[in-house]
Structure 1
């Protein structure tokens, strides 16, 4: 009887609190500060073979100029309509048809491009143009002018990755269109890679993009060759396989202040032991076939597929063919804010 009376008194007290837009922490503490990380998102796979025809169909419906950015957003079905692959990561597939230009603009979110298909697409960033080839990892720093185009005869398609959900949390997402569809170029192609990407730096090296790397194209040819040689030189890590992370040559940190990026190589028959970490990830299959197991869910993948991996879910990889896998993640933020955690089995 006393318990019922106490409960009734508490409910009445809570109702009085609600009238003043207040609430008792002790009723929700376990939910807002749980014993371990929890995610409302589930792992999800997007098959490139299914989405490519739809992306090309979008190319028949509207031009790149009309769309500003002709992109199919990869939406995690756990939270439809929110334009999120994971709680903190945006992903999409962008199409540029021959002769098209995606008009120049700039925006507060940081962006990355990972070229999936095509050989004569280009992007211009901060007055320098770079030709994009399959497997290249290209960066658009926050608030840097950029435009894209296609000088070839075939479609160009790449994976977009942005930190839009994070910037949206701060209500700080905005953009600015350029006066011209293509920004004026002020440096020759290859300038940034020559200055910063040859194990050499200018004597007073500083990135023109603040905390973002001054290199905005990391060529796949070099990355792939490095991974193959690294795999021959040492046994693969039990949990990571042969993994090399992309780096900012100025400070050795992640290339982008909010997004971590790396490439994993698994030779045919190799598999990793399970681990989990607080960061959420998006994995793109550059080459190869295999399986990724995420909290017991087995996902078979093939070339050019994209898979969302929520945080704090056990993951392990196995390769039925030689695999090269590109990842981007919010780990850079987790580390800066001091709450990144990892567990290994």
Structure 2
């Protein structure tokens, strides 16, 4: 095609009308590459349908099936990149193919946010029924060309197809290109903004009545065998919509029960864990072969990566509350889990005193010399040091009858377990009346204070060390 001369402009900067009309008359539509490529595409589609006899499996759908057959299951984004199709076009086409059961959509095994496309048996059959004829259609498309020109022609097509996209000249062009590249403009409005003025959370203040949960666990004792389920527990799931299991954003708790004579299989995992022993006499924990008692009022640790199990040699069922940082592990994704190769870890030593156990008596002794917060946020309080579990803050505070703490809030998520006593806690707009064994949740940046009606011991599990390590911690009195 001959190159056309450039148009001259008038004094106003606009092209000369007469020249423009002459220029338009000189153009040969049938020499324009875009027009020729559209004609070629139409001929390719016609030959494909003629040779394959397929009117309900388009060339693009054939490309999807062939790509999945050769590469296996692919994330939808990767499939679009391989086929050079934008997300919208591919999504609509895949929907039709899913309805015809040629492909399936499913959650990606490693990235639950991604969608993976899989070839079905019906899709494979449709591909194999058409693949030879589709190749014959391609040969027919090139048949007018001599053999020596075909590689040159295909190379030219490849260069044109791989050329950079046209210049982006409008916002619509920009947004389409951003979508194709799987990037998102930072300036667009969103249902959930990237930044906000102060902490916000989906988690709500919660209270669990230990007696009610204990009764339910007692019923579970006859139905759930720890040899099969490993752990007989009831998870404290925060009740906001679509929450899977977490108690607060970074932590999860569960009440657990062990029957006399039972031994739970040993395992290990990335998540750090601890237990507040509520009712137990004769139960024990095994951590890395070390057997230590788990008696009522004890706090027992099982750091991440350590083999651990437990058993019960007492006469009455044992009950405790577990706390783990599993939501934090899920967020950062370094989760590992492994069952012990012998199922039950061998006991190599027995110790009444251990770095994995804070006994009730030792906690009370430390509290006798502890001091309260000068500003009144908490009563006399001790920190239970757990250097192997740096994501968790563990404290116990003592409040006398009629005590009231000062209203305050912080960026830490807190879970209070009543070890002894009775009273109430105001969390945001909720007031929870509690007694021994109950659990109260204070989500991030939610104000709270306690008020007792009898001498009380409150254990607190929090993510304060995590917040401090990341320089996210902030608190204020109200």
CA RMSD of aligned residues (A): 2.0
C-alpha distance in structure 1 between counterparts of 2:448 and 2:434, whole Å = 14
Deviation of 1:26 after TM superposition, in Å, equals 2.5
C-alpha distance in structure 2 between counterparts of 1:178 and 1:327, whole Å = 31
Q: Does 1:247 align with 2:389?
A: no
Aligned residues: 308
C-alpha distance in structure 1 between counterparts of 2:453 and 2:377, whole Å = 17
C-alpha distance in structure 1 between counterparts of 2:388 and 2:401, whole Å = 29
Name the counterpart of 2:275. 113
Q: Do 1:276 and 1:315's aligned partners in 2 also have CA atoms closer than 8 Å?
A: yes
Name the counterpart of 1:27. 188
Q: Does 1:124 align with 2:264?
A: no
Higher relative contact order (CA 8 A, sep 6+): 1
Deviation of 1:12 after TM superposition, in Å, equals 7.2
Q: Does 1:230 align with 2:391?
A: no
The Cα offsets for residues 204-230 of structure 1, whole Å up to 9 and x where unpaired, read as xxxxxxxxxxx1000112212332443
SS at match of 2:347: coil
**Structure holding more helix per residue:** 2
SS at match of 1:131: strand
C-alpha distance in structure 2 between counterparts of 1:14 and 1:178, whole Å = 52
Name which of structure 1's ranges 43-52 and 15-24 shifts more when overlaid on structure 2.
Answer: 15-24
The Cα offsets for residues 76-106 of structure 1, whole Å up to 9 and x where unpaired, read as 0014551110011110011110000100111
Change (3 A) 1:87 1:79: farther
Change (3 A) 1:171 1:255: closer
Name the counterpart of 1:210. none
Q: Do 2:421 and 2:455's aligned partners in 1 also have CA atoms closer than 8 Å?
A: yes
SS at match of 2:468: helix
Name which of structure 1's ranges 254-263 and 157-166 shifts more when overlaid on structure 2.
Answer: 254-263
The Cα offsets for residues 280-317 of structure 1, whole Å up to 9 and x where unpaired, read as 11110111111111113211111110111101111111
Match of 2:448 among 315, 318, 335: 315
Change (3 A) 1:240 1:14: farther
Name the counterpart of 2:422. 289
C-alpha distance in structure 2 between counterparts of 1:190 and 1:218, whole Å = 10
Q: Which has the higher Rg, Structure 1 or Structure 2?
A: 2
Change (3 A) 1:55 1:12: farther
Q: How does 1:139-288 map to 2 (within 5 A)?
A: 139-190=301-352, 192=354, 215-230=355-370, 237-248=375-386, 256-288=389-421
C-alpha distance in structure 2 between counterparts of 1:23 and 1:73, whole Å = 37
The Cα offsets for residues 221-241 of structure 1, whole Å up to 9 and x where unpaired, read as 22123324436xx78651112
Change (3 A) 1:266 1:112: same
C-alpha distance in structure 1 between counterparts of 2:181 and 2:395, whole Å = 49
Deviation of 1:38 after TM superposition, in Å, equals 1.0
Structure 1 gaps, min length 5: 1-8, 193-214, 249-253
SS at match of 1:308: strand
SS at match of 1:57: helix
